[in-house]
Amino acid sequence: MPRPISARIHLDAVRQNLQLVKRLAPSSRVWSVIKANAYGHGIERIYPALAEADGIALLDLDEAVRVRELGWKKPILLLEGIFEPTDVETADRHRLTVTVHSDEQLALLKASRPRERIDIQLKMNSGMNRLGFRPGEFEAAWEHASGIEAVGSIGLMSHFANADDGAIDWQTDEFDAATRNLPGTRSLSNSAAVLWHPRAHRDWVRPGTILYGASPTGRARNIEGFELRAAMTLESRIIGVQMLAPNETIGYGRTFTADRAMRIGVVACGYADGYPRHAPTGTPVMIDGMRTRIVGRVSMDMLTVDLTPCPAAGIGSSVELWGEHVRVDEVAEPSGTIGYELMCALARRVPVSIDAGVTSEPETHTA
């Protein structure tokens, strides 16, 4: 029998989260962002839940090809664009929309001879200072792109640096000023802007982490009131029980000392499964439906929990590490990281099953 740890992917949660995006941004089309293998959930696994998306956005050409091979006929956006002539050939073959953020990428398109023109999203660096043309260069970049025979439609996009803490006006104003005289659809909003900044919704929104039920801020309290559901549950079981006397310690480094007699549960989950090694004592966990805490240091294959709040729990009791009752952000925040990282870091050795919910296949017509 394998170790009792497993993960479940909830397709109805993805569907519900996508519908929330559509309600919050009713005048916008939706790029569903599934980069990093759908934030660790698995592209093939969540694909049936994406039927109502208007497009799919990702990074890797390989992932884009996988989505086309699954039967997706609507737009696919490469968020970092192309880097070699063969990338242009792949974009042409699979009808991909390409983000363009540099003169070098424009040169690749100019030198290409695709069968059909390639639609692009021209990216502005409005203050994030990662990728894109600066506002003062943007109109010239648009003029350059519009004169390239290989280029089809030109959309305009940018990315917010801190939409999660409310400060977007400075970037929105830069973008609007630089694009005032340019045609094309606009796309600005990431997950945080979808939730909190309707001014930035424009023609397309690009939700990522909220599709999977995690907070854009990395803090679970910030998405209270939104009907976001966890798309991933990481669960295991108790495989051992120990009794600690007062002043006894537990685990590597002896970082936890019992201040009273305690029952301790040993859970089959550790950092080699994707649980954060730096999760401190007090990080929440659910045992048989009752909330308690981990104690001591997380090791490679096991962690230990306080069974005081759940006296009936014992070997074989169910454990939710994160999911519906313990949000992934509640584990990530005290560990000094964000829910994105934990979802993406789910280890290959963890068996994954799919909770399909209502069966629904993505539409296959062209948008």
Distance CA 252, CA 134 (A): 51
Let me know if 271 is a catalytic residue.
Answer: no
Distance CA 133, CA 129 (A): 9
Which region holds residue 3: left if phi is over 0, alpha if psi is between -120 and 50, else beta?
Answer: beta
Which tens digit of pLDDT belongs to each residue from 194-217? 999 999 999 999 999 999 999 999
pLDDT of residue 315: 97
- At residue 164 the predicted structure's pLDDT band, cuts being 50, 70 and 90, is confident
- Helix (H) / strand (E) element for 13: namely helix 11-24
Which tens digit of pLDDT belongs to each residue from 215-242? 999 899 999 999 999 999 999 999 999 9
Which tens digit of pLDDT belongs to each residue from 28-76? 999 999 999 999 999 999 999 999 999 999 999 999 999 999 999 999 9
- The amino acid present at 97, given as its one-letter code, is T
Task: For residue 306, give Cα distances in angstroms to 18, 293, 326.
Answer: 36, 6, 16
Which tens digit of pLDDT belongs to each residue from 70-96? 999 999 999 999 999 999 999 999 999
Q: How many CB atoms lie within 10 A of CB 336?
A: 12
* Residue 128 and residue 94 in contact, taking contact as beta carbons nearer than 8 Å: no
Distance CA 10, CA 229 (A): 9
107-113: long-range contacts at Cβ-Cβ below 8 A with a sequence spacing of 24 or more?
A: 108/82, 108/83, 108/84, 109/82, 109/145, 109/148, 109/150, 109/151, 110/148, 110/149, 110/150, 111/85, 112/85, 112/88, 112/150, 113/150
Q: Is 69 helix (H, G, I), strand (E, B) or coil?
A: helix
* Residue 7 and residue 234 in contact, taking contact as beta carbons nearer than 8 Å: yes
Let me know if 212 is a catalytic residue.
Answer: no
Mean pLDDT throughout 294-305?
98
Residue 360, pLDDT > 70, answer no
Domains and CATH numbers, the chain: 11-212 (3.20.20.10), 232-354 (2.40.37.10)
pLDDT of residue 357: 81
pLDDT of residue 353: 96
Q: pTM here?
A: 0.93
Across all residues in the chain, what is the average pLDDT? 95
Point out the catalytic residue in the list 35, 74, 212, 275: 35
Q: Choose between 209 and 2: higher pLDDT.
A: 209
Point out the catalytic residue in the list 123, 212, 252, 271: 252
Distance CA 73, CA 67 (A): 9
DSSP secondary structure letters along 77-96: EESS---SHHHHHHHHHTT-
